[in-house]
Amino acid sequence: MASTSSPVASTQPTLPSGLAVFKTIPYAFIVPEIVFGTWVWILVAATSVSYPLQQGWVMYVSLSSCLISVLLLISYLFGFHKNSENWKVLDSLYHGATAILYMSAAVLQANATINSESHPKSPLYYQLNSAASLFAFITTFLYILHAFSIYYQ
């Protein structure tokens, strides 16, 4: 005897593609991550980079994270993910790892900010470093929100 049960509906949420990326909560964080990460890089580059090991790491993390996030945004916009569950895992791992890297960069930038008070052009560089520290911590928070939002989705 044949079963006449209806097919089970998929409980997997669909991944957005196209302009729906900007309207869906965990994925809408990508644009602010890119914007604030770019500001971190610009503000650190505008200083004299008095602490090349610390601020070099900040610039590396901010620039590479920005570029990878742009590639991720493009792939979401064009629907390269094809609604794969593995894509959500990749996205969550990327944002989680980047949050850890950004936290280290934000702490190093805060240390460079504290040390920049003794610079000859102190007021200008201190303000630039302070703004870079603030944006680095905001960007870290955005990456953490994105990672946990996808993980718990």
Query: b/e string for 107-133 if b means 16 or more Cβ within 10 A?
Result: bbbbebbeebeeeeeeeebbebbbbbb
Q: How much is the pLDDT for 121?
A: 65
- The whole-angstrom separation of Cα 149 and Cα 145 is 6
Task: Convert the pLDDT of each residue in 92-147 to its tens digit.
Answer: 889 999 999 999 999 999 999 988 887 666 788 889 999 999 999 999 999 999 88
Would you say residue 2 lies in a domain? no
CB atoms inside a 10 Å sphere around CB 67? 12
Would you say residue 57 lies in a domain? yes
Instruction: Give the structural domain span for 93.
Output: 20-152
Would you say residue 14 lies in a domain? no
How many domains does the chain contain in total? 1
Would you say residue 50 lies in a domain? yes
